[in-house]
Structure 1
């Protein structure tokens, strides 16, 4: 009977273990099977709301960015506007140096002429909508005084943002073997630029009109981004897409940074090193746009937000020292909502606790006692603070005895006590030794007195 019970319990434990382990594995398998097979050298898809990486392919590989470089150029210009160094309405004149430094005759252009005057916003529009290289240099001179100084600022900003695989040589992205970045670094730069409303407003413009200037009639500009274009988009139009920037050279291939929003979901996509090919049916396919659409469709179809923690959930009890109340409960500081593969059970998330246990009283309600990190299949998703649910008062007597104990446990105090002990022992020994000597001296004097004293004359 005992043997049968043992095997019954054993089989039950195996069954429960399998039930606990299977769901996250299935969720991972479902998501990985649905993940698109891309044709680009590198790709990255990030949840715009939380910064969670949804898809990554060679995201840290150093590659040529082509005109996606202009995202960094725009970022520095908008920072200068935000700091009051420029305003969007300031008029800038295209200098000879700006029209010649580092530019090529076959590069993308808005046909800006030397001496032409446009506003900062108009130059930004030329740069971000039709990828005008000359506009980059005009803006760079306005911000830093020279193109060279502006490039130095681009590299400094990249380092500040944590870009580890990026080095800029020019403002536009024209090819140079020392001008490179990675999908991850480009995402960091883009996320920073997206904090400025003007950046997304201009990047998300399909058609823009530049008013007549001192040297040109009014210009109508059509975006180079086929995801947000119209009749010229060759079938790539994507209703949920917003911006951001294209780029292409023979060395870099076709590159695209884009974003898309559908309902509560929002993603940022980076695709580098894609080809443009002619298919058997005659279709000319540009894989930067094609792969980006695949990524967006896959993400919107396979992921959703789930509330995995609520702020009123009791996580566990923590021991409390120096109090008559020996436990206090902790709860999350806030609700935690995560982007997860559809079908994922929040109970399958791994919870790693980093708590003070025990904690010394007094404890205040809302006091942070540690953190909890949520992970799925070994990948960290979020970390939340854990707060005390209630106040816990300290017991005065327990605090006193703890202070006494702590005081006498200090090394310096112990040394002083040892020294005092040695001194006291030495004093005792010295007194004992001195007392013996006095005792002996007193006895010898007494004997001489009795034997040798004057007794008088007999008569």
Structure 2
């Protein structure tokens, strides 16, 4: 426990652009979100889809909504959560891209979209990742699920636990693939939040942006990968994310694009055809980039402050952002100054693992919080040893 409680409230006046009150879209502010959604009810967007949503990734601000909380089958967009857990496992060193995975009979037996894995075949994590991200391979998804959790059912439990961690109330998974199953559902809103979480792993778009590639290249069983999301080729800035289709779900797509330092996520469910699905998403993205802009404030893992901790092995503790931080505003608005407030927790126990949350960074307009981002420690922090404590105590006398 820190004896000298850290109460660090840094208010940094930034000479950056922001909106006058009412034009700032607020992260996690229900009154602002509701106002923006109601304003867009009259827009003739996503007219071919049963449900849709458009958000800005950094802030999570909702730009457009149509029945976004309606529970529907997500089909292969389910694999967004599968990819999220794969990327987490890679980041946590539980997996490596060059690791070889032996394919089980169960994984090889998956129907629907597949990369035609064979029982006993070995394939690298990276190639399986491509198989999921590009070709929506159900066999590749189950193979990775079995590797990470031991069985697909255990992996599904991890998926639903992650749903809870993300605070999602209208999603439940029964498999890692999106193949039809009772009581397997999500919403446009929840899929957008899952996509937002997945996009924290910037390397994911390295795979989801591939239009065509090959698995087992040069071998007799060479397989041509072609992206099921044609917008990665035909819409400027689109570099992911995941399509879906079943007879029940119809045509679905969670797409992401980045242009002019602004990343958006558009989700549509229940479109009547591939053409209608792509048209609806394209219109949503067109609207976002025609009407809105973002101002980046901090990059992910950017150092924002540090503090001294006498009893820690590293006396100077560096604090970084857990995610990128931006503000979203309408084009052509008069702009104002905003503030950022950095608050470090007053009570922190040693030891502290790298990546642990130790505070918050708030973006504020006229004293009102419009977005909030976790601050984390950059390194593992352990107890100082006796020699370190003696040295620091000695130095404090001089």
Determine the structure 1 residue equivalent to 2:344.
Answer: none
Residue 114 of structure 1 is aligned with which of 116, 119, 130?
Answer: 119
Aligned counterparts of 1:227 and 1:159: Cα–Cα separation in 2: 31
Residue 44 of structure 1 is aligned with which of 53, 59, 68?
Answer: 53
- How far residue 383 of structure 1 moved from its aligned partner, in angstroms, is 7.3
Instruction: Give the 5 Å matches for 1:417-456.
Output: none
Task: Give the conservation status (yes or no) of the 8 Å contact 1:31–1:341.
Answer: no
Instruction: Give the 5 Å matches for 1:166-177.
Output: 166-177=171-182
Q: Secondary structure at the match of 1:181?
A: coil
Count of paired positions: 295
Tell me the TM-score normalized by structure 2. Answer: 0.66
- How far residue 109 of structure 1 moved from its aligned partner, in angstroms, is 1.1
Determine the structure 2 residue equivalent to 1:188.
Answer: 193
- How far residue 155 of structure 1 moved from its aligned partner, in angstroms, is 0.6
Task: Give the conservation status (yes or no) of the 8 Å contact 2:213–2:226.
Answer: yes
Aligned counterparts of 2:176 and 2:82: Cα–Cα separation in 1: 6
Q: Structure 1: 5+ residue runs without aligned partners? A: 1-19, 230-236, 277-284, 308-335, 352-369, 385-459
Which segment is superposed worse, 32-41 or 294-303?
A: 32-41
Aligned counterparts of 1:109 and 1:51: Cα–Cα separation in 2: 32
Give the alignment's Cα RMSD to 1 decimal.
Answer: 3.5
Task: Give the conservation status (yes or no) of the 8 Å contact 2:76–2:245.
Answer: yes
Aligned counterparts of 2:86 and 2:218: Cα–Cα separation in 1: 21
Determine the structure 1 residue equivalent to 2:229.
Answer: 225
Task: Answer yes or no: is 1:124 the counterpart of 2:135.
Answer: no
Task: Answer yes or no: is 1:268 the counterpart of 2:268.
Answer: no
Task: Give the conservation status (yes or no) of the 8 Å contact 1:136–1:171.
Answer: yes
Determine the structure 1 residue equivalent to 2:151.
Answer: 146
Aligned counterparts of 1:23 and 1:221: Cα–Cα separation in 2: 43
Determine the structure 1 residue equivalent to 2:255.
Answer: 258
Aligned counterparts of 2:80 and 2:23: Cα–Cα separation in 1: 41
**Structure 1 22/183 Cα, relative in aligned 2: closer, same or farther at 3 Å?**
closer
Q: Secondary structure at the match of 2:118?
A: coil
Task: Give the conservation status (yes or no) of the 8 Å contact 2:46–2:52.
Answer: no
Residue 85 of structure 1 is aligned with which of 67, 84, 94?
Answer: 94
Task: Give the conservation status (yes or no) of the 8 Å contact 2:242–2:254.
Answer: yes
Residue 330 of structure 2 is aligned with which of 326, 341, 347?
Answer: 341
Task: Answer yes or no: is 1:211 the counterpart of 2:216.
Answer: yes
Task: Answer yes or no: is 1:303 the counterpart of 2:307.
Answer: no
Task: Answer yes or no: is 1:63 the counterpart of 2:72.
Answer: yes
Task: Give the conservation status (yes or no) of the 8 Å contact 1:96–1:114.
Answer: yes
Determine the structure 1 residue equivalent to 2:235.
Answer: 238
Higher relative contact order (CA 8 A, sep 6+): 2
Aligned counterparts of 1:130 and 1:83: Cα–Cα separation in 2: 25
Structure 1 residues 90-139: Cα deviation after superposition (integer angstroms, max 9, x where no partner): 11111112233xx33xx111111111111011111111111111111111
Aligned counterparts of 2:261 and 2:363: Cα–Cα separation in 1: 27
Q: Structure 2: 5+ residue runs without aligned partners? A: 1-19, 25-34, 297-324, 340-361, 374-398
Aligned counterparts of 2:173 and 2:116: Cα–Cα separation in 1: 24
Determine the structure 2 residue equivalent to 1:197.
Answer: 202
Determine the structure 2 residue equivalent to 1:158.
Answer: 163
Residue 53 of structure 1 is aligned with which of 42, 59, 62?
Answer: 62
**Structure 1 264/152 Cα, relative in aligned 2: closer, same or farther at 3 Å?**
same
Aligned counterparts of 1:340 and 1:197: Cα–Cα separation in 2: 24
Q: Secondary structure at the match of 1:97?
A: helix
Structure 1 residues 350-373: Cα deviation after superposition (integer angstroms, max 9, x where no partner): x9xxxxxxxxxxxxxxxxxx9955
Aligned counterparts of 1:43 and 1:69: Cα–Cα separation in 2: 16
**Structure 1 32/176 Cα, relative in aligned 2: closer, same or farther at 3 Å?**
closer
**Structure 1 40/146 Cα, relative in aligned 2: closer, same or farther at 3 Å?**
same
Q: Secondary structure at the match of 2:73?
A: coil
Higher Cα Rg: structure 1 or 2? 1
Task: Give the conservation status (yes or no) of the 8 Å contact 2:52–2:188.
Answer: yes
Determine the structure 2 residue equivalent to 1:291.
Answer: 280
**Structure 1 109/264 Cα, relative in aligned 2: closer, same or farther at 3 Å?**
same
**Structure 1 346/172 Cα, relative in aligned 2: closer, same or farther at 3 Å?**
same
Aligned counterparts of 1:141 and 1:23: Cα–Cα separation in 2: 47
Task: Give the conservation status (yes or no) of the 8 Å contact 1:23–1:345.
Answer: no
Aligned counterparts of 1:30 and 1:60: Cα–Cα separation in 2: 17
Aligned counterparts of 2:149 and 2:278: Cα–Cα separation in 1: 34
**Structure 1 116/31 Cα, relative in aligned 2: closer, same or farther at 3 Å?**
same
**Structure with the higher helix share, 1 or 2:** 1
